[in-house]
Amino acid sequence: MDIHPVDIKSVTIEGLFWAERLRQMQEIVIPYQWELLNDRILEAEKSGAVQNVRIAAGLEKGDFYGPPFQDSDLAKWLEAASYVLASSPDAALEGTVDELIDLIRSAQEEDGYIDTYYIIKDRDMRWTNLRDMHELYVMGHLTEAAVAHYDATGKTTLLEVAQRAADLMIRVFGRGRGKIRGYPGHEEIELALVKLCRATGEKKYLKLAQYFIDERGRQPCYFIKEAKKRGDDPTGPWGSGLPDYWQAHAPVREQRTAEGHAVRAMYLFSAMADIARETGEEELSESCERLWENVVSKRMYIIGGVGSSHDGERFTEDYDLPNESAYAETCAAIGLVFFAHRMLHLKTDARYADVMERALYNNVLSGISLDGKHYFYVNPLASFPGAGKPHARQKWYGCACCPPNLARLMTSLGTYAYSQTAEALFVHLYLGGSVRFDIGDTPVEFKMKTAYPWKEKVTCTLGCKEPVQFKLHLRIPGWCEKPKIELNGEKIKVKKKMLKNGYLVIDRSWKDGDTIMMLLPMPVKCLESHPEVRMNAGRVAIQRGPVIYCIEEEDNGAGLNDILLAKKAKFKIKSGSGVLSGVPVIRAKGYRRSLSGWKKTLYRVAGSPLKPTKITAIPYALWANRTPGELLVWIRAAK
């Protein structure tokens, strides 16, 4: 079954929830980020990204600015801008994109090399520090942008840049005589090369990706050899002393747990899944599944976040999921979406889509403010600023990986929602809008109307000039126990045999105007964690549909950790107000201790009376959009 995401150009997104977010992306975020990348937003941190390319192209004098991987912000922006162009013509944006591509072309070296850090700083030092210097990462992002631009516009201006760079890599890297037998410290080029192969049909790019994947983790470790050659500390700047930070502790087919820097791990696993799909290799596929299981069953926050430690932005150990000090980087959650999306195309199973959805509606969306201009890099699950500075979204970051990464994911959302085969459409995510696709020679339109995830109802309508037989796969979310489905007004009783890997399969000859009404009941649920997640013992997280809720100081006052959710609490849904207008807000009964009667007492014999209190919970992704203050996801629950 050759399942693949639908063409981005065939998707429209309309209606509640996403359309407004995407309009904001197109009208505010993409233009705003362009200003930022050009250093024209004075009150934000300087980027230097465009300036670096101008200097590399010889159009300006100056030194490289920012971290060595600064080019990648520009590439991610280009990728996002291309997705916007794919779905809606925008001459001004297209002009800006073309100009930037021209600039990048003029900065590219004759042999295909394109990384402004080394072009500006020291051409001779190229490829001498694959571990830390991100050249292959930067060129990976440029390649992803090139493929997106080509898909959106049909133009090969940037694709040629990417191909020249990839051809250079083919000459430089590999097992042959005189070649560098290394691989990147930050994975990204691998999955980009798979995309380049798919876009150009050139298998040589897939082969290079395979080489990078196969070589990683072989002993003796390339990074140690490379560091010694440079006269550098072989343990690297991250001090772990182990190459697991770079997923280089073992060959990828032998890795059993997700280790090291979380974004890198997610990009590696994504590429592994891509390659397993392209090659059909069972061993690699099994390794992907094993690593997936380790992540989602032992190392993932309930918000779909991964990488719990600030120190090294990394995975630590099974069940180590601290809340206040959670790192849960926005980019890592985006990486988990990528990994999930690849797994979904390796083995079409709704459990991958469940995790994709969990990450998307919680940790990923938390990364961007409702006004679209402020970003979280770090997403804690509890925050108690006390007398200190509350955790708040920033306009930009010195290391600004997350904002443009959010942009490229959100602007290509349609391709995460739908997949197709020759005889089937898969609906992974429920969002308003439509997708057009062909079954044989028959064009079909599949429309959805929904306010998901705020509302439970999804109405799907088929459009086709003549009846057409195909299998519609509708994902039944893992959180949804009793879905109700009607086809043209008639109830469909969902039986086990109609379900395949978590999808409801309706195989029939579809007629124009056929309508499916889905009701995905979203009762409020309290979830608990595995007993080994010690941080969450005695606590519950509130979930409604795919949305994880939190309590904030704004609604509940300070001292959130002293709040106790009542036993068998009943939950009421109300519509939020202000910036949360239209958002389902959850109310429940709880208790807390009084601060009076304590005077100068710090400790006393237990037994303080509890006084009733009302608990108000809002979606986690929307926290810190009002007065910044305390936050709590895992709430104490009476036993």
Binding site for its own copies (CB under 8 A): 293, 296-298, 300, 302, 317-320, 384, 386-388, 525-535, 537-538, 540-541, 559-562, 564, 592-595, 598, 600-608, 610, 636-639
How would you class 497 by CB atoms within 10 Å of its CB: exposed for 0-12, middle for 13-18, buried for 19 or more?
exposed
Element (H, E) at 6: none
b/e per residue, 612-621, with b = 16+ CB within 10 A? ebebbbbbbb
If we measure between CA atoms, which residue out of 439, 605, 632, 459 comes closest to residue 548?
632
d(CA 274, CA 338): 10
Q: Which is the catalytic residue, given 197, 221, 331, 401? A: 401
Q: Is 289 labeled as catalytic in the residue annotation?
A: no
Per-position DSSP letters for 44-76, written without gaps between them? SPP--HHHHHHHHTTSS-----SSTTTHHHHHH
If we measure between CA atoms, which residue out of 32, 226, 59 comes closest to residue 129?
226
Contact 554, 627 (CB under 8 A): yes
Contact 491, 475 (CB under 8 A): no
CB of 169 to its own copies, least distance (A): 37
d(CA 116, CA 62): 12
CB of 431 to its own copies, least distance (A): 24
Closer CB to its own copies, residue 65 or residue 591?
A: 591
Closer CB to its own copies, residue 315 or residue 510?
A: 315
Closer CB to its own copies, residue 511 or residue 534?
A: 534
Helix (H, G, I), strand (E, B) or coil at 530: coil
For the record, the structure tokens of 36 come out as 């930022």
Residue 477's CB is within 10 A of a number of other CB atoms, namely: 22
Closer CB to its own copies, residue 212 or residue 292?
A: 292
Closer CB to its own copies, residue 115 or residue 553?
A: 553
Contact 589, 604 (CB under 8 A): no
Inter-axis angle of helices 189-200 and 203-215, to 10 degrees? 160
* Residue 419: C-alpha distances to residues 6, 164, 424, 579 (Å): 5, 31, 8, 34
Longest dimension (CA), the chain: 80
Q: Which is the catalytic residue, given 226, 313, 552, 630? A: 313
If we measure between CA atoms, which residue out of 504, 65, 533, 474 comes closest to residue 317?
533
* Residues shown for the chain: 639
* Residue 190: C-alpha distances to residues 175, 203, 315, 359 (Å): 17, 13, 21, 23
Closer CB to its own copies, residue 581 or residue 601?
A: 601
Q: Is 202 labeled as catalytic in the residue annotation?
A: no
Closer CB to its own copies, residue 16 or residue 566?
A: 566
Helix (H, G, I), strand (E, B) or coil at 315: coil
Inter-axis angle of helices 402-410 and 30-37, to 10 degrees? 150
d(CA 557, CA 552): 8
CB of 609 to its own copies, least distance (A): 11
CB of 333 to its own copies, least distance (A): 16
d(CA 538, CA 544): 20
Helix (H, G, I), strand (E, B) or coil at 518: strand
Q: For residue 497, what are the contacts with CB-CB under 8 A and spacing of at least 6?
A: none
The radius of gyration of the chain's CA atoms, rounded to the nearest angstrom, is 25
d(CA 65, CA 117): 8
Q: Strands, E, within 219-310: which ranges?
A: none
Q: For residue 357, what are the contacts with CB-CB under 8 A and spacing of at least 6?
A: 428, 429, 477, 546
Contact 157, 98 (CB under 8 A): yes
CB of 6 to its own copies, least distance (A): 31
- Which amino acids are annotated catalytic? 313, 401
